[in-house]
Amino acid sequence: MASVTARTFAGASPWSLSMAFVERQTNLWKRYWGWELVWLLYGLVNTLAVTLIAKQLGQQGGADPDVAKRLVLFLLIGTLVWAYLSAVLDDISLVVQWERWEGTIEHTLMAPVPRALHLLGMSVFGVLHGAVRTLLIFGIALFFFNVDFSQANWLGAASVAVVGSVSVAALAVLAGVLPLLYPERGSQMSLMVQASLLLVSGVYYEVEVLPGWLQAVSFLSPATYMLDGIRSAMIDGQGLTDVAGTLVQDCEVCCNPWSVRVSRDGDEVRVEIGRADGSE
């Protein structure tokens, strides 16, 4: 039976094998649709609550009207991008926890599917899931704010989002290894990585307001460049040539990617992390 299954998987195309994991995660999403509504509502409330601060500032005369409008757009983009990034990070970095809940972690790790295709499928689902949730939040938020997108460069923003998604997915894969290294506290450590990104990436404020040592850390976060590039395209109307530097910085995470190797020796699970080119 095992040999038949192995031959069947071997005859499938790499893309179909990756899409099998997308389908599996989609079925899990359908099963836990109640939690999806919870996180959709949470993301919407967070977006509205933070952005309404800027709207109140403009209505009370605490800032010039043009400055207040720019701040509304600044915070709206920041909260939407963070809703997207947190969804991607959750879907990928907490995959081990999901597998344990479902009791399928042994079957998944021992399946005759290359680990790269497994991670590719999980990453594709995370990006698609995050995009759908964020678009829903964005559509609802437009009923609460009068924002002007006349100068927005949608192509530039979309290009930064695509490249940044690859970088964030790579970071999420590394964070997803933590539950394997530390079974008791690994999931909490993955969430701490997400919280650290929220602090240093300039989601709700400019990176320049951070202390000097945190500003140095912010340059290591792919979310910093993603937020900067999308805001430049949506607020200032910068095109592909203008955000090219941001695209290059985001691509650096993928040009020398990390490799993750999982092996099992009896009851012990071993995880080896290194550069894909063989360097440490």
Q: For residue 58, what are the CA distances in angstroms to 51, 106, 205, 206?
A: 11, 55, 17, 19
CA 273 vs. chain centroid, Å, equals 21
Asked if 229 and 247 count as a contact pair (C-beta separation under 8 A), the reply is: yes
pLDDT of residue 250: 55
pLDDT of residue 5: 44
pLDDT of residue 224: 87
- Kindly give, in sequence order, each residue whose CB lies less than 8 Å from that of residue 90, ignoring residues fewer than 6 positions away: 126, 194
* Positive/negative CA dihedral, 105, 43, 210, 69: positive
H helix runs in the chain, sequence order: 2-11, 14-31, 33-59, 65-93, 95-102, 105-110, 115-141, 154-176, 178-181, 186-200, 212-218, 222-235, 244-255
Say how far apart CA 135 and CA 145 lie, in whole Å: 15
The amino acid present at 238, given as its one-letter code, is Q
Q: What are phi and psi of 129, to 5 degrees?
A: -65, -45
Say how far apart CA 182 and CA 155 lie, in whole Å: 41
Tokens 């899409």 belong to residue: 19
CA atoms within 13 A on the CB side of 272: 9
Asked if 226 and 127 count as a contact pair (C-beta separation under 8 A), the reply is: no
pLDDT of residue 247: 60
pLDDT of residue 243: 66
The amino acid present at 253, given as its one-letter code, is V
Q: Enter the tokens of residue 74.
A: 């600044």
**Whole-model pTM?**
0.80
Q: Residue 2 burial (CB < 10 Å; 0-12/13-18/19+)?
A: exposed
pLDDT tens sequence for the chain (280 residues): 444 444 445 556 777 777 888 888 888 788 878 888 998 999 999 999 999 988 888 777 766 777 888 888 999 999 999 999 999 888 887 777 777 777 777 777 777 777 778 888 888 898 999 999 999 999 999 999 888 888 888 988 888 888 888 888 888 888 877 777 777 777 788 788 888 888 988 899 888 888 888 888 888 888 888 898 899 888 887 777 766 666 655 555 445 444 555 555 555 555 554 544 544 4
Asked if 164 and 243 count as a contact pair (C-beta separation under 8 A), the reply is: no
CA atoms within 13 A on the CB side of 126: 29
Asked if 160 and 250 count as a contact pair (C-beta separation under 8 A), the reply is: yes
